């Protein structure tokens, strides 16, 4: 089975102080044990770095530490799915037709990467946001 973990789940899995740490960490641990094939969107790499380095935790997560967390704790087990320019354009067109503005585009891009990568499940802490931007995937979107 292929599972895409959203940025929200990866942040929670990597940050022990996060309220969803245990349930998110379980999903990352399953990927490490090869219980499923982990996929992530290429956009998630940048978003994960941005979130980790700006979280209001003490001590702050330094850029070098964030890079190491991503390269050591996520990438060895993940297949990264990239989208083409035409796939970005299609995501924008779809959201415009749905009348959905703003930052929802980032969830739409991650959902599109899940589809491209053949994910049977998209795991996120933001299920309603993903169901709104990818209604065709609603039955595959789940919380950790």
Q: What's the domain count of the chain? A: 1
Which long-range contacts does 105-108 make (Cβ < 8 Å, 24+ apart)? 105/133, 106/43, 106/47, 107/6, 107/133, 107/134, 108/133, 108/134
Predicted structure pTM score? 0.95
pLDDT digits over 43-74, tens only? 999 999 999 999 999 899 999 999 999 999 99
Structural domain containing residue 85: 2-142
Question: Looking at residue 104, which CATH number applies to its domain?
Answer: 3.40.50.1010
Write down the pLDDT at residue 127: 97
Question: What backbone phi and psi angles, to 5 degrees, belong to 143?
Answer: -90, 155
């Amino acid at each position: 089975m292929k599972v895409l973990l959203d940025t929200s789940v990866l942040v929670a899995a990597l940050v022990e102080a996060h309220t969803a740490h245990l349930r998110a960490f379980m999903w990352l641990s399953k990927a490490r044990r090869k219980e499923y094939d982990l996929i992530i969107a290429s956009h998630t790499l940048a978003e994960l770095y941005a979130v980790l380095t700006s979280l209001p935790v003490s001590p702050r997560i330094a850029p070098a530490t964030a890079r190491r967390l991503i390269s050591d704790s996520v990438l060895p087990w993940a297949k990264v799915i990239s989208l083409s320019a035409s796939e970005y354009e299609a995501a924008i067109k779809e959201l415009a037709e749905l009348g959905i503005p703003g930052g929802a585009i980032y969830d739409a891009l991650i959902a599109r990467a899940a589809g491209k990568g053949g994910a049977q499940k998209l795991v996120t802490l933001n299920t309603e946001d993903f169901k709104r931007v990818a209604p065709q995937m609603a039955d595959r979107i789940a919380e950790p």
